[in-house]
Structure 1
Amino acid sequence: MSALTITLPQSLYTAAQIREAEHEAIHRGQCSQYDLVEQAGSAAMAILDSLEKSDCRTLVLVGKGNNGADALVLSRLLLARGNTPRVALLAAGKTPEHAQALKAYVNAGGEIENFDEDLLAEAEVIVDGMLGTGVAGELSEPLKQCIEAVNEQRAWVLSLDLPSGVNANTGNIIPVAIEADVTLCFGGLKQGLFTSRARHFAGTVMYASVGLGEILAETQPAAQRVDGGFLKDLLGRRARDSHKGKSGKVTVMGGNYGMAGAVRLAGEACLRAGAGLVTVISRPEHQLTVNANRPELMFWGCELVDMEVYLRLGWADVLVLGPGLGKDDWAYNLYKAVGLSDKPCVLDADALNLLSKEPCRQVNRVLTPHPGEAARLLGVTITEVEANRFDAVRKLHQIFGGVVLLKGAGTLIYDGNMLIVAPVGNPGLASGGCGDVLSGIIAALMAQGLETMTATVAGVVIHGEAADLAAKDGERGMLASDLMPFIRQLVNSDLI
C-alpha cells in the first residue's frame, strides 16, 4: 500500500517532472510502470474506504491511458470487496499497463460497458479516470459531452490524479473539466491544481506518494505551496522596550476624487498588521473620510507634489502607491515622486497602470497586479494571462524586477528565484477594497523588518486566512473592512 495523506506536501511539480521521477524509479529497479498503476489504484481504494464510499453504487469512467489503468485497478479492488461497479470504457486502451489492468479486471469477473449517460443516473459515486495528466489540446466532442453530463449529476466524484480537463501545469481548463469533490494526486502534487480554474474543479486535494517520494525529494520543485502554517514563528514577540518608531513607518499614497476609501483601507490594514506609524497622502478634502473613524492615521492633504510630500517619502521605511490613485496629472506626479525615492515600495492598482505606460525595472519593490493589470503590464489579454499564470508571473518579474504578486484564485509570488503558490482565501475577497488591504499588510510587514519576499508571502497568507475567518458569516457580502480584526489576530498568532 502506498503512503496516503491528507496533510499535503509543500513541493509542487510539473507533469514532466512526475514522469521523469517515474522513469527514474523504474530505472533504479524500484518498481515497474505497472507497479505504479497498482499503487495508484490501491490508494484510490483507500480513499473510498476512508470516506465511507466503497460500498456505494459506483460508476468508473476509464480513459485510454494509464489514468484509465489506475481506474481499472480500483474497479478490480472494488469487485474483490463485493461491490460490483459499472465500468465504462471511453476509448480503446493505448498502453501496456492499460491492457494488463483490463485483463486483470475481466479475469476477476468484471464487465466493461460503453459509456451511456443513463449510467450516470444510477451512480452514487463516479470515479474519473479519463485523462489525468493526459490533456493535450482541445478535448474530443464525445469526451466534452461526457464531462458535461457528469457535472450535471449529483453524484459524489473522485478524480484520479487530476480532474479530467484540467491542465496539470497551468490549472487552466480546455474548455470543460470534471468538477470533483476529491482529487487524489499521485506521486507529487501538480502545480496547476492550486491556481487558476483548477481551484474550483479540484475540490479537496489529497495525495498518495505511490513510491516516488524519495526520488522527488531529490528533484528541485517547480514551485512551493504555502498555507497558514507559513505564519508560525514568523514575527514572534515584540521586545519589551519597543516603541512606535521601531515598529515601522509607512506612507500610503492614493485616494483620488471619489476614492478616499481605498487609502483609508490600506492605511488601517498597515496599522492592524503592526506598523507603528502610518501617514496617508491624499486629496485634502479626504481627510475627514480617512480620519473620522481612524484618528490613528496621520494625514497630509496634497494638491501639488511639493517639499512636504518628499519629506513624508523620506520619513517612511516603506511606501505604498496606488490605492484609489487614478491616472490624472495629480496621480502621475505622485507616481514620478515615488520613482525618485530609494525606499522600498508596494505598487498597486493605478500605480501599476501608470507603470505599464512607462516600464522600468526596479529591485526593491513589490508589484501586486490582478490579471487585468498584469495583462496591461505585459501587453496581452487577460485570457492569455490566465491561460498560464506561471509564465505570466515570470515574465512580469523579467521585465519589472522586484517581487511580483499575481492575484487570483491561487495567488502566485515570484522574486526571480522562488515561485510560491498560495491557495488561500475564498471568493468573499472578490469585492472592492480587498486589494488595498493586502497592500497595506505587505507594507507593514516590510516596515517591521521582514525581507521583501517573506513579507509578501506572509501578507498574502494573512490576507487569505483573515478572509476565511471573516467568512464565518458567509462569503457573499463580506467587506474588505471585515478583515481588520482578524489581521490583528493573525499577526499575533504566536501568542494564541
Structure 2
Amino acid sequence: MLDTQLTTSLSYKLFRADEVRNNEQEAASQSGCEMFTLMERAGEAVFRQCQHLLPNTDVYLVLVGQGNNAGDGYIAASYAKQAGKQVHVCAVEPQRTLDGDAGRAQERWLEAGGTIERFDAALLNKAGLVIDALLGTGINTYIRNEFAEIIDAVNQSDTPVVSIDVPSGLDADTGQSMGRCIQATVTVTLVGIKPGLTTGAGKQSCGRLVFEDLGISKAFGQLARPFASWLDIQQFIGLGPRDVHSHKGSYGRLLCVGANRGTAGAIRLAGEAALRSGAGMVRAYVHESSAVQVSAGRPELMVTSEGLEQALEWASCVVIGPGLGQDDWAQFTFETVLKHCQSEQKPVVIDADALNLLSRQATAYTLNDCILTPHAGEASRLLGVSVEDVEGERFNYAKQCAQRYHATCVLKGAGTIIDNETSVAVCRHGNPAMATAGSGDVLSGILGALLAQGLSTEMASRYGVTLHAKAGDELAELYGQRGMIASDLFDAVRVLINQ
C-alpha cells in the first residue's frame, strides 16, 4: 500500500526545529563538511530560487536579523551581487557585528563591497524581490516591535518575498504567528521540513514550499527523529487489481447513517462517494422524511428509514454523522450506532453532527477502530477549547483529540492532520476550492469505503485523506478554484483510486 522507498526520503518527513538544530552539525561532520559550508549552500539555494521565481529582477532587498538565518541572507546577497544584481541589505542594527558563522558571512558581504543599511520602507518600492532572513526557527516568544514594523511594511507591499527556512515571525513547529509573520511567496526550508510550514496558517504564510537538504540528507536521516510523515499521493501504491473470482460482498457492506429531516444531501454525498471509492454495497439509514430524496437518482444506494438494528447487523463498518442533526431522533440513532459498534468492535467513521453529539457525552465510548473527522470548530467542542486555540496549535489538539477518544483524529483544514495517538501525518495536497458544502461528507464516504474494503484505520485515514485532497487539486488545476462542488470529486476520486 505504501512505497517504502519514498516514505524513507526526507522529502516525506517533518522534523521539529530543535531536532534539526541538535543534529545538523553532526550530520554535516559525518558528511565531510563544516557548518559554514551548509550556510554557503543555503545562501546559494535561496539565490537559485530567487532566480527561478523572478529571473529578470535586478534589484534585491535582503532583510537580515542577528542569527544564522541572517548568515544565510548575507550569503544569498553575495551571490546576487556576484550575478550583477543591485542588492540592498538592511538590518535592525546595521552597526552590529555578528558572531560565528553568521559573522563570517557578514564579513564576506562587506569584503565584497556590500553595505548594511537601516531599513527604509521606501526600498520596497524600488526592489523587485525581498529575501527574508530576519528571524529563523529559534523564535518562541512574541517578536520585538522593530521586527514587527519591518514585517508589517513587507506584508503591506506587493513585492514578492523569498523566506529562508521559515517566514519570519512563524513558529516553525506549530505554524502559529508570534504576533507578526511574513507572508512569503516562496519559503526555502533547510535540512528538514518543519511541521509548522505544512498546516493551518503556517501553510498559508510560507507560500510555495521548497526543501533543500544541503547535501547532508543521508547522515541527518540516520541521526534525527521525524515528528511526522508528509503524505503525498505518490507514496501510495494503491489497492491493486481485484480478484477475478470476487463479488460485491468481497468489498464490504457499509452503512451510512444520517440525513435527518431537510438534510438528505449530506448522506447522499457520503454514500455515493463510498460507491465511487469501491465499497461493494452501501446502505443509508435515514429519517423517514429523507428516504425518497436520498434514493432518487442513485438506485445503487440502498435506503431505509426502519430497522436500524438489522441494518447495523448487516454492516461490516459504519459512517455516522452527515446530516444527522442533533434532535431526539439523532440522539437515539447516535447512541444505538455507537453502542453496537462498541459491542461488536465494528469500524466506524464519526463525522459532522455525530461529532457534536459525541462532545456532549460525559464519558467517551471505547471503540477499537474509530476515525473522527472534525474541522476546527468541531474539534473545539470535542475538547472544550476555542477555535482559535485549535487553529493556533493544530498538532497539539489533533493529538489531544486522538488521545481523549482513543481514535484516529483527522483534523481537517489546510494541511489536514491525521493523528492516531502513536503516529502523526500531514496531507500535502488540498486547496481552498474544497472549502465548499459537502466536501467533508465526501471524505467520510471515502474513509468508510476503504474500511469496508479491509484497510486498517491507519491506512484508510491516510490514504483516504490523500485521495480526497488530491482529487480536489486535480479539479482545481483543470477548472480553477471557484465553483467546485462536492459531487465534482466523485470522478476524480474514481480515477485516482484505480491508478
Q: 1:418 aligns with which of 423, 427, 431?
A: 423
Residue identity matched to 1:418: S
Q: What are the superposed Cα offsets for residues 77-102 of structure 1, whole Å, 9 maximum, x if unpaired?
A: 22222223011112345542222211
Q: Name the CA shift for 1:49/1:477 in 2 (closer, same or farther; >3 Å).
A: closer
C-alpha displacement of 1:217: 1.1
Q: Is the 8 A contact 2:65 2:91 kept in 1?
A: yes
Corresponding residue number in structure 1 for 2:64? 62
In structure 1, what is the equivalent of residue 22 of structure 2? 20
Work out the CA distance in 2 between the residues paired with 1:259 and 1:311. 23
- Give the Cα separation in 1 of the matches to 2:264 and 2:256: 12
Q: Which digits, 9 at most, give the CA deviation of each residue in 1:349-402, with x for residues without a partner?
A: 111111111141422111111111111111111111111111111111111112
Task: Note if contact 1:230-1:461 (Cα within 8 Å) is conserved in structure 2.
Answer: no
Residue 212 of structure 1 aligns with an amino acid whose one-letter code is I
> What CA deviation, in whole Å up to 9, does each residue of 1:91-119 have, x standing for no partner?
34554222221111111111111100011
Q: Check conservation: 1:159, 1:184, Cα contact below 8 A.
A: yes
TM-fit CA distance, 1:473: 2.1
CA displacement at 1:54 relative to structure 2: 7.3
Match of 1:483 among 476, 480, 489: 489
TM-score normalised by length of structure 1: 0.93
Q: 2:330: which partner in 1?
A: 331
Q: CA RMSD in A?
A: 1.8
Partner of 1:158: 162
1:475 and 1:86 map into 2 onto residues whose CA distance is: 37
Aligned residues: 481
Residues 45, 54 of structure 1: 8 Å contact kept: no
CA distance in 2, matches of 1:442, 1:402: 14
**2:139 — aligned with what?**
135
Percent identity (aligned): 39
2:294 to 290, 295, 317: 290
**What residue is the counterpart of 1:349 in the other structure?**
352
Deviates most, 368-377 or 131-140: 131-140
Listed as ranges, the matches of 1:98-247 within 5 Å are 98-218=102-222, 219-231=224-236, 233-247=237-251
Q: What's the counterpart of residue 457 of structure 2?
A: 452
Give a deviation string over 1:188-238, Cα, whole Å, max 9, x none. Answer: 11111110101111111112112431232112210000112133x221111
CA distance in 1, matches of 2:68, 2:471: 41
Q: Helix, strand or coil: the match of 1:197?
A: helix
Which secondary structure state, in structure 2, belongs to the residue aligned with residue 482 of structure 1? helix
Residue 256 of structure 1 aligns to a residue whose secondary structure is coil
How far is 1:156 from its partner? 2.2
Question: What is the DSSP-based 3-state SS (H/G/I as helix, E as strand, rest coil) of the residue aligned with 1:21?
Answer: helix
Q: Cα deviations across residues 431-477 of structure 1 (Å, max 9, x unaligned)? A: 11111110000000110111111111111111111112222322222
Which consecutive aligned stretches of 4+ in structure 1 deviate over 6 angstroms post-superposition? none
1-side partners of 2:226 and 2:181: how far apart? 26
- Contact kept, 8 Å, 1:280 with 1:300, in 2: the verdict is yes
- Residue of structure 1 in register with 2:266 after alignment: 262
Q: What is the alpha-carbon distance in structure 2 between the residues aligned to residue 210 and residue 447 of structure 1?
A: 44
Q: 1:85 aligns with which of 71, 84, 87?
A: 87
Query: Does 1:310 find its partner at 2:309?
Result: yes
- The separation in 2 between residues aligned to 1:65 and 1:243, in whole angstroms, is 63
**Does the aligned pair in 2 maintain the 1:322–1:348 contact within 8 Å?**
yes
How far 1:413 moved relative to its partner? 0.5
CA contact (8 A) 1:160 1:185 kept: yes
Q: Distance in 1 between matches of 2:405 and 2:155?
A: 41
Give the Å deviation of 1:299: 0.6
Aligned partner of 1:376: which letter?
A: R
Counterpart position of 1:380: 385
TM-score (normalizing by structure 2): 0.93
Q: Summarize deviations over 1:132-171 as a string: whole Å, max 9, x none.
A: 2132221222322211221222222111111112211011
Q: Does 1:97 align with 2:96?
A: no
Secondary structure of the residue aligned to 1:279 is strand
CA distance in 2, matches of 1:150, 1:269: 44
Amino acid at match of 2:356: N
Cα 1:70–1:109 shift into 2, 3 Å: same
Q: 1:55 to 1:427 in 2, by over 3 A?
A: closer
Contact 2:98 2:106 in 1 (8 A): no
Q: Distance in 2 between matches of 1:38 and 1:117?
A: 28
Partner of 2:321: 322
